[in-house]
Structure 1
Amino acid sequence: MKANGKNILDSVIYRYTADSNQLEDENRVLKETVNNLKAELDKFKSPPLMVCEVRELVGNDCAIIRIPNGNQFYVKISSECTKLKPGDMVLAEQKNLTILEKLDISRKFNVEKFVIIEKPTVTWEDIGGLQQQAREIKEVVELPLLKPALFKKVGIVPPKGILLYGPPGTGKTLLAKAVAASTNSTFIEIVGSELVQKFIGEGAKLVKEIFELARKKAPSIVFIDEIDALAAKRMEIGTSGEREV
């Protein structure tokens, strides 16, 4: 009887011990889940950070930054944020604008979002009519690219650009593509209205980067379509971005 009673008692103790261990494991998992949920809630409760541009560094722990609306402020730099330089993009608190973190992004435009880059296959034979215009473009654009030594020898400086005008659908883009194809040049097309940006300086910066791209992919033909969006009469210009470009 004593042996049977002891076995039953050991069995009960073992069962309760196993149940206790299982409950402790479940309790630990639930605590971790609660802590994770609290951390997620804290993230949602924390205010968003503002993306700003560093304009100038003042000493080791201060800087002048520009916020998205264009205003500039003199702010403190967190001790954890190091190796800043003018032009860097940073995250700052909205309340006191303290710089907390440097962002690995650039203020440069992604030029390829604004332009169409291709190697055209259009030939002069594909263009119907426009013989006079094609002949003039060959003399002014194609020949200097194919035989630059000839122009240098006779002392003629070829023009850097030409203006094609006329109603839509009259072959202006085809002529430009034919020149690019005949000279084996990269054809870079951009719509003029894309050069008008909201803030002062951004339109000019985009123009600069387009021509940097053209130099990188030289020889290149830069074709600016709908340029009348920029070259309007002075009285028709209403925004600072248009005046700047």
Structure 2
Amino acid sequence: MSGELDVSRDNSDNYEQIIRLLEEKINALQTEAESLRKELNYYKSELEKLLSPPLIEATVLDILDDGKVVVRSTSGPNLIVSVSNEIAMNDIKVGMSVALNQRGSAIVKILPEREEPFIKSMEVSEKPNVKYSEIGGLDEQIQELREVIEMPLKNPEIFKELGIQPPKGVLLFGPPGTGKTMLAKAVATESNATFIHVIASEFAQKFVGEGAKVVREVFELARKKAPSIVFIDEIDAIGAKRVDLGTSGEREIQRTLMQLLAELDGFQPLDNVKIIAATNRIDILDPALLRPGRFDRLIEIPLPNIEGRKQIFKIYTSKMKVSNDIDLDTLAKLSEGLSGAEIRNICTEAGYISIREGKREISMKQFIEAINRIKSKKKSEYKGREEKYV
């Protein structure tokens, strides 16, 4: 009798072990099935994405009373479209970007605002490390720039109290290398403003209307980043006097210029956005740019006089290891007719001469040799250009 009980107990233990093994197998199969189900759903969704038609980007122009919306499609003409039931009409605003369904031309999605990488790259993320003290021979110009750019940004209440309006834009003009770009950077540094540096030729784009769009987005970025300074270098690239040549390139440049004029007109003098432009050729600029209300403050940046050249030499030599025989007055006299950029080149050239000669400091003799080299090079370049046009 006891033997039968033992056998039945053993059978019972075996059955329980088999049941546990089967339960574990079922659980493993269920886990595997769930994993396979997720994988199947993933591939189904990917297949739907591949088979679904692409959406068309558009910009909202107007919202009509009957619930329809007027949009400008990137693929063609303006369209009057309906709105998907999944989107509330109150969420749609004029000027925003939306996605259109190709089949029914209905708005199916509101696109988030985004900044073009090309436009974003124009913002100088690190503040220009240029101080007024690093610019020599331009004390009057610095004072004028501080009055028309820095003061309205820092103390707008003074102008409101007096009832006067500062200039909207400032145009710096003068020969190359006289410090126009350095001045703009110094103003941005001293006023703690965002500095947006644009070369005017970047406004000239390949496709029709693209140049005007770039101008519009640059000024939109400036408003978002206010207080900010937009510095347009070499503005003569798009701001030259308009002529009736009739070529598509000329017409596109003129459209870009008109957009720039419209943006300048849209600014209030006491806004936290200031515009500085620079040119070497003020004589070829369109008069529309220079009329009051746009670039109505013109600041000439001339070649430095003898005192200015002495200041520039003093600034650069203060950072160099020079001998005790350096005579700044003599260097200023010998460098007559040279710009600030050329004086910087003289200091660099004097350093190279010292390195070639194996010296550990720069002497007066090496500075004089550097001046002669820069002047000789400038004279040969000028002669070459003169022979080219004869």
* TM-score for both structures, normalised by structure 1: 0.69
Q: Which amino acid aligns with 1:141?
A: L
Greater helix fraction, Structure 1 or Structure 2: 2
In structure 2, how many angstroms separate the alpha carbons of the residues matched to 1:33 and 1:213?
44
For the pair 1:92 / 2:106, whether they are aligned, the reply is no
Structure 1 unaligned segments of length 5 or more: list them: none
For the pair 1:212 / 2:216, whether they are aligned, the reply is no
In structure 2, how many angstroms separate the alpha carbons of the residues matched to 1:119 and 1:51?
36
Which residue of the other structure, out of 110, 117, 120, is the alignment partner of 1:102? 110
Q: Render the CA deviation track for 1:208-240: whole Å, top value 9, x for unaligned.
A: 4366358x32xx654321212221342472416
Change (3 A) 1:200 1:178: closer
For the pair 1:242 / 2:248, whether they are aligned, the reply is no
Q: Which amino acid aligns with 1:206?
A: E
Asked if structure 2 preserves the Cα contact closer than 8 Å seen for 1:140 and 1:158, the reply is: no
1:109-188 to 2 correspondence within 5 Å? 112-116=120-124, 119-128=127-136, 131=137, 134-138=138-142, 140-143=144-147, 160-167=169-176, 169-180=177-188, 184=191, 186=193, 188=195
In structure 2, how many angstroms separate the alpha carbons of the residues matched to 1:195 and 1:63?
31
Matched residue, 1:62: 68
Change (3 A) 1:91 1:12: same
Q: Which amino acid aligns with 1:170?
A: T
Change (3 A) 1:96 1:7: same
For the pair 1:190 / 2:197, whether they are aligned, the reply is yes
Matched residue, 1:14: 19
Q: Render the CA deviation track for 1:64-123: whole Å, top value 9, x for unaligned.
A: 111124521111211111122222222211233211122232689996532336655534
Matched residue, 2:79: 73
Which residue of the other structure, out of 30, 37, 43, is the alignment partner of 1:31? 37
- Paired residues, number: 234
In structure 2, how many angstroms separate the alpha carbons of the residues matched to 1:118 and 1:69?
38
Q: Secondary structure at 1:54's aligned position in 2?
A: strand
Q: Which amino acid aligns with 2:49?
A: K
Asked if structure 2 preserves the Cα contact closer than 8 Å seen for 1:88 and 1:106, the reply is: no
Asked if structure 1 preserves the Cα contact closer than 8 Å seen for 2:201 and 2:237, the reply is: yes
Asked if structure 1 preserves the Cα contact closer than 8 Å seen for 2:58 and 2:100, the reply is: yes
Q: Secondary structure at 1:163's aligned position in 2?
A: strand
Deviation, structure 1 residue 243: 4.1
In structure 2, how many angstroms separate the alpha carbons of the residues matched to 1:12 and 1:37?
39
In structure 1, how many angstroms separate the alpha carbons of the residues matched to 2:123 and 2:101?
36
CA RMSD of aligned residues (A): 4.3
Change (3 A) 1:11 1:66: same
Deviation, structure 1 residue 11: 6.6
Change (3 A) 1:117 1:186: farther
In structure 1, how many angstroms separate the alpha carbons of the residues matched to 2:187 and 2:115?
34
Q: Which amino acid aligns with 1:114?
A: M
In structure 2, how many angstroms separate the alpha carbons of the residues matched to 1:31 and 1:210?
47
Asked if structure 2 preserves the Cα contact closer than 8 Å seen for 1:53 and 1:90, the reply is: yes
Asked if structure 1 preserves the Cα contact closer than 8 Å seen for 2:55 and 2:99, the reply is: yes
Change (3 A) 1:92 1:69: closer
Deviation, structure 1 residue 19: 7.3
Change (3 A) 1:146 1:53: closer
In structure 1, how many angstroms separate the alpha carbons of the residues matched to 2:101 and 2:204?
31
Matched residue, 2:363: none
Change (3 A) 1:141 1:70: farther
Query: Alignment identity in percent?
Result: 29
Q: Which amino acid aligns with 2:250?
A: I
For the pair 1:202 / 2:213, whether they are aligned, the reply is yes
Asked if structure 2 preserves the Cα contact closer than 8 Å seen for 1:193 and 1:230, the reply is: yes
In structure 2, how many angstroms separate the alpha carbons of the residues matched to 1:123 and 1:12?
85
